[in-house]
Structure 1
Amino acid sequence: MAGVLTGVVGALLTLLLHGAQHVVFGAGGHSFAQEVRLASPPRRLIGMTVAGAVIGLGWWQLRVRMRVIRVRDALGDPPVRLPLRSTTLDAIAQIIAVGAGASLGREGAPRQVAAAVAEVLCARLGLDDRHRRLLLGAAAGAGLAAVYNAPVAGVLFAAEVVLGTLDYIAVCAAALMSCIAVVVAWPVVGRDAVYHLGAHATAPNVWVWVVLAGPVCTVAGIGFNRLMEAARRGGPSRAIHLLPLRITAAMAAVGLVAMTLPGVTGNGKSVLEALVGRGGLPAGVLFALLVAKPLLTAACLRGGLTGGLITPSMATGGALGALVALGLGHDQGGLSMVVCAMVGAAAMLATTQHAPIMAGAFMLEVSQAPPTLWLPVALSVAGAWATPRLATGLKQL
């Protein structure tokens, strides 16, 4: 039951995401990135500013009138329950904000609603705290799986990130729920890869980056996480009556930068699409995205917006990997840039989520990568896992 309902939730939120982006940027393109590029620069700024004002007013009223509980809080404290109404309204605001161009991931909203639906089922079935926690964690992973057509990543996210256990009952429940949710969401989300890989090849000197990606992206990922934590400390708990103004200002800031750098909008999918399937990006644009994407993501969080960080961190890592490819002498948009970008994205995600297995599986699954890319991605996430442990060991010596 939870798997079926999670698939429905994923499909409905995906439709809402597309509707929001059509309203703000126009419906003339075949993808979010194309719609943003086709929209005139003034429309990007004005559309995002107006959307920020509307979202800010809605979120302000929600937070004044209702209590919003996070999935992590409900899992960590058994007496705390996820209220379906406020959780769903908060998720709707999140998904509209991402569709309107906020520099945040879309995976947070389906995770929340799926867990809230599972909470209702647990109450109706009278499940104890242990099985309630298992079901909520599995539902959160299934929500991620449904919107990205990534059942394996959904299972690993539930086990490695949300629940922190490899208990066979938890893994089996998460697997069943994720697979059901993905199939139910197929009519809307589709069965194709999220990122369509172009032609690619792993040149000999790319293996240098494969080995170094773990340590480099560990440092970059730690910086990314610290920036986001600092931004959250200035988030919605401060000056609640100013929330509409703060959210409007954050959206306007993204829109202002998007007038000349449209890739900063949304969850970062457009950046990765350009790097792995559309011939790459110039070095100047890559450097600008590497700096602007995390800064604007932090600005959105500080302004009071909430959302996921999976795809923004992947976009940052992908831009870093593509810059490394250029530094290694490969052509802009060349065959090896695809590999470098994927390796950077996977290593960055492994660091920011503290989940190397999930990160590698997610990157390979959303791109439906061929076996030739499995080893580079696996080595990069292994390096991201090993680097902090080696650093800790050296400090102890």
Structure 2
Amino acid sequence: MMPLNPLKKRLALPQTSWQLCILAAIGGFASAMLVVLFVFTIEGIQLLFLHENDDYSSLSALSRLLLPIIAAVLIIFFAWLTGYQYIRSGIPFVLHRLKIANGVLPLRNTLNQFIGSTVALAAGFSVGREGPAVHLGAACSSYLGNKFKLPYNAMRSLSACGIAAGIAACFNTPVAAVLFVMEVILREYKVHIFIPVMIAAIVGSMTTSSFFGLNHEFGYFSTISLRHGHYPALIVLGITLGVIAFAFNRYLILVIKASARFHIVPRILTAAIITGGLGFLLPHAMGTDISAINFSLQSDVELQLLLALLLAKVIMTVMALGLGVPGGIIGPILGIGAIAGTCGSIVATHFITGNIPASDFALMGMAGFMAATLNAPLAALLCVVELSNQIEIIVPAMVVITSACICSGQFFGNRSIFIMQLEAQGLAYRRPPIEKSLQHIGVLGVMAENITLLTQPDQKTLALALANKTPDNHLIVVDKHSGQQAQFILYQPINTPNSKPFVEQHTLIPLCSQSTLAEAYMLLAQARAGGVYVYQNNPDDIIGIMTFDAIRSYLLKGKTST
């Protein structure tokens, strides 16, 4: 038997671990540095043809038309180099890999995410930075876990830490990043995961702050002046945002389903033509969110132009994401919400005495639309609070968020756009409740190590070993033939009423030491008996066993009986 690594055994248990916290900090720093490189690359490319970042109005109309098409050709070319099957990326793909591959992301998908998203964002496609940041963060941290061959439950936790670091690095919003991971990605709150995720978010935010400063993108918003008398208008705004969120999600899914039968090349070219065409007419609709928000907050913009900008932004985002352009969704969502909120402020001013600052309703629109679209009210609330540096917006934002979520969810049956995307693309994201419960604990942490190994014993030796066997000891016979993998056979004396004791024999199934109880359960569920033996590197070297009875004990009592 090989010696067991105590660090890996510790990480296999669902407990708060300083070792995982250190790995989370290292992974968070590496993820943040990758996001910094990603942002610098985008800004560097943009400054080659723009006077200021995201200011596409400085380009000629013809340049705005051609720029997305040129970018689409580059995206397609790189996807061809890596293989078109590796073009899937972003938050839905990360969710899928978190469920079916313990958060491990293929390198080619990550390369497509970095290069493709960089080109798409630089060229003015209406996609966000946070999707690539999530993908890059998860890939970086999961690579770290895979390099050290950590237990799968620890790898999933480390991948979640990378996601939190990526979001915090992208927006400088560590609290919202933690809540986003818990509310949207993991959809559960576990203290032993919460703490390392928090550490990774802090490290990610501090790392990018050292490069870009402590200011948030929307820190320039003036202090809000909303009063209780504005709350009826905020409720109407929330209801309107709920309707828009339902329409946005529905048409995005329709585009995904309708375009699925076409190759990725015509899909991305179509998205480029639509983006270029709308950018030709409305340059401020291009890009992720900053340009559109800045334009909508100008005091002399007419309502008709804002409504046209809102419609163009929705169409560009739906078509870009629905047709497969690499990038995120949260950035455009914030932009759409801000424009919708600004439109609401103009309408509300006609019915309420005194002017309502457009920036106040813009912030409310960002919070409400993000909450209703992602079905993540708490993450949306904290995101806008951190982005604006204003704790005073909490109560009015809660009014808008609750109104939007109730309208969108109860009356229209709207769900998280990420879940809807996964279902539309046929990507698995759910595990049965039993398997989900067993995923939290690795076999290394609870396997039986008290083993007596007998290599091809004779009958007398076997009988003597059975007679001397204690209840907490497991007797295993090794059947090994030259050139073949060894078989490990478990011998279990069974005492039955009114009969002589007899011995059950079970051939143990090999299981990698990184596995969780979920993998062990799936191997044994059909027979509902026997067990698995755990190995580290060589399947011929046993380091412990896990029986089906022990797994059943964990399900019933919350602990194993080995």
What TM-score, normalized to structure 2? 0.63
Deviation for aligned residue 1:48: 2.4
Q: For each residue in 1:350-384, what CA deviation from the matched residue of structure 2 results, as whole angstroms up to 9, or x when unmatched? A: 01111000001111211222x33222112222333
Q: For each residue in 1:36-81, what CA deviation from the matched residue of structure 2 results, as whole angstroms up to 9, or x when unmatched? A: 1211212211222222222222224333374756211111114673
Deviation for aligned residue 1:223: 1.4
The correspondence for 1:226, drawn from 237, 250, 262, is 250
1:283 aligns with 2:337: no
Deviation for aligned residue 1:112: 0.6
1:358 aligns with 2:379: yes
Say if 1:88 and 1:112, in contact at 8 Å, map to a contact too: no
CA separation in 1, counterparts of 2:284 and 2:127?
12
167 and 99 in structure 1: CA distance in 2 versus 1, 3 angstrom threshold:
same
392 and 296 in structure 1: CA distance in 2 versus 1, 3 angstrom threshold:
closer
Letter of the aligned partner of 2:282 in structure 1? L
Q: For each residue in 1:298-356, what CA deviation from the matched residue of structure 2 results, as whole angstroms up to 9, or x when unmatched? A: 2213433132111222222222221121112269xx65211111111211100111100
Report the counterpart of residue 248 of structure 1 in structure 2: 269
List alignment gaps of at least 5 residues for structure 1: none
Matched ranges for 1:44-123 at <5 A: 44-64=64-84, 66=86, 68=88, 70-78=93-101, 81-123=104-146
The correspondence for 1:216, drawn from 236, 240, 249, is 240
Letter of the aligned partner of 1:133 in structure 2? R
Matched ranges for 1:142-157 at <5 A: 142-157=165-180
1:8 aligns with 2:33: yes
286 and 121 in structure 1: CA distance in 2 versus 1, 3 angstrom threshold:
same
List alignment gaps of at least 5 residues for structure 2: 1-25, 414-562
Report the counterpart of residue 197 of structure 1 in structure 2: 221
1:344 aligns with 2:369: no
- Whichever of the two has the greater Rg, that structure is 2
1:42 aligns with 2:62: yes
Choose 251-260 or 378-387, whichever is displaced more.
Answer: 378-387
Letter of the aligned partner of 2:280 in structure 1? M
More helix by share: 1
CA separation in 2, counterparts of 1:295 and 1:389?
22
389 and 298 in structure 1: CA distance in 2 versus 1, 3 angstrom threshold:
closer
More strand by share: 2
Say if 2:371 and 2:379, in contact at 8 Å, map to a contact too: yes
Q: For each residue in 1:122-172, what CA deviation from the matched residue of structure 2 results, as whole angstroms up to 9, or x when unmatched? A: 112222222221221221122111011111111111111111112112221
Say if 1:148 and 1:189, in contact at 8 Å, map to a contact too: no
Say if 2:28 and 2:141, in contact at 8 Å, map to a contact too: no
Deviation for aligned residue 1:20: 3.0
The correspondence for 2:348, drawn from 328, 341, 363, is 328
CA separation in 2, counterparts of 1:274 and 1:298?
21
1:261 aligns with 2:282: yes
Q: CA RMSD in A?
A: 2.5
**Tell me, what secondary structure is at the counterpart of 1:267?**
coil
1:309 aligns with 2:329: yes
Report the counterpart of residue 180 of structure 1 in structure 2: 203
328 and 138 in structure 1: CA distance in 2 versus 1, 3 angstrom threshold:
same
Letter of the aligned partner of 2:370 in structure 1? L
CA separation in 2, counterparts of 1:271 and 1:68?
27
Deviation for aligned residue 1:102: 0.6
**Tell me, what secondary structure is at the counterpart of 2:189?**
coil
Report the counterpart of residue 383 of structure 1 in structure 2: 403
| Structure with greater contact order relative to length (CA < 8 Å, sep ≥ 6) | 1
Say if 2:137 and 2:162, in contact at 8 Å, map to a contact too: yes
Letter of the aligned partner of 1:338 in structure 2? S
88 and 182 in structure 1: CA distance in 2 versus 1, 3 angstrom threshold:
farther
Residues paired across the two proteins, number: 381
Say if 1:105 and 1:309, in contact at 8 Å, map to a contact too: yes
**Tell me, what secondary structure is at the counterpart of 1:56?**
helix
Deviation for aligned residue 1:239: 3.4
Say if 1:109 and 1:307, in contact at 8 Å, map to a contact too: yes
Choose 375-384 or 170-179, whichever is displaced more.
Answer: 375-384
**Tell me, what secondary structure is at the counterpart of 1:224?**
helix
Say if 2:237 and 2:344, in contact at 8 Å, map to a contact too: no
Choose 137-146 or 69-78, whichever is displaced more.
Answer: 69-78
What TM-score, normalized to structure 1? 0.88
